[in-house]
Amino acid sequence: MRGLFGVRRYTAKVQAMQVGGPVGAPAHRLYFARNGSPVSPWHDIPLVANSSTNEYNMVVEIPRWTNAKLEINTRAPFNPITHDTKKGQLRYVANVFPYKGYIWNYGALPQTYEDPHEVDSRTQRVGDGDPIDVLEVGSRVCAEGSVHRVKVLGALALIDGAETDWKVLAIRSDDPQSSKINTVGDLEVHMPGLVAATVDWFTKYKVPDGKPPNTWAFGGVPKDNVYARDVIGTAHASWKKLVQAPHSDLALSNALVDGSPHCMGREDAGDAYNALFGRGSVPAAEQAEDANAEWHYISR
């Protein structure tokens, strides 16, 4: 696809490149590269994987059952996944009984932006300034930096302070249960209790850090997949506006977005690749998916 905001020459075969040591090292960064050029997981990976089947691309930031708060860094060139810090300390999510770490594969939808300067008409609050979060509920534990096609099931609207922080519920298209789970209702049938656990988890996860419980728009009741796709569409439009802006406090450098003033030419991209990966980078190790990682849901 070409033209304004078309992502040209894209293939999902991008390579994750680790710089600064593994997760837990303060300098840990996971960049993405393709054909001798760095690519941005936020800007260069298309949002839509297949429009006819309503499939989206998801970039996994945090594997299920882990605690390190990893995220696409919106302020670093080419937006590597980094370990978030607060007051100079690496951040880890607390284990709030009965949960261990993040209870889904946690990630982001590329080419989306929850605009902190625009009031979301659905919640009457501004966005949180990040890509939309995705909670992938399938049977496999996904690797940091892996990119997967997902099917959107619905969305929850977390209120974080004065900001809207949408949480999209999704399942990998290749998950064994994907053909049976298309809606939030299906999710309750085949994974009973997961939606309630999700609301409970997000309500309480900051309490061990001395913060009050989070609150929700719509009483914490999830919106359906049609509504969720509309939310995603709004965030995609906000991203288009952002990446077209000539100047921003955010890192908008990219290699593949036609029409963006921040799209680098081949020579500049090559120089950026050498600067990022010339020394001390290693390809991120392939991580086998754990056959014993499946949740088992027992109906009451």
pLDDT reported for residue 266: 72
Share of the chain above pLDDT 90, in %: 77
- Least Cα distance to 45 among 105, 131, 115 occurs for 131
Q: Is the pLDDT of residue 230 over 90?
A: yes
Q: Is the pLDDT of residue 181 over 90?
A: yes
Radius of gyration of the chain (CA): 19
Q: How confident is the model at residue 37 (pLDDT cuts 50, 70, 90)?
A: confident
Region of poorest pLDDT, from 8-12, 40-44, 46-50: 8-12
- Taken as a whole, the chain contains a residue count of 300
Q: How confident is the model at residue 6 (pLDDT cuts 50, 70, 90)?
A: very low
C-alpha to C-alpha distance for 3 and 106, rounded to whole angstroms:
31
| Contacts (Cβ under 8 Å, ≥6 apart) of 94 | 67, 205, 208, 209
Q: Which residues pair with 119 in a beta bridge?
A: 126
Tens-digit pLDDT profile for residues 155-179: 999 999 899 999 999 999 999 999 9
pLDDT reported for residue 10: 46
Residue 233 in 3-state DSSP?
helix
Q: Is the pLDDT of residue 300 over 70?
A: no
User: Of residues 155 and 275, which shows the higher confidence score?
Assistant: 155
For the segment 221-236, the average pLDDT, to the nearest whole number, is 98
pLDDT reported for residue 285: 56
For the segment 124-148, the average pLDDT, to the nearest whole number, is 97
| Contacts (Cβ under 8 Å, ≥6 apart) of 281 | 17, 18, 19, 31
Q: Per the structure block, which two tokens stand in for 24?
A: 């837990």
Q: How confident is the model at residue 289 (pLDDT cuts 50, 70, 90)?
A: low
For the segment 138-154, the average pLDDT, to the nearest whole number, is 96
Tens-digit pLDDT profile for residues 21-36: 999 999 999 999 988 7
Distances (CA, A) of 60 to 121, 136, 137, 182, 258: 28, 9, 12, 20, 25
Residue type, 258: D
**Burial of 198 (C-beta count, 10 Å sphere; 0-12/13-18/19+):** buried
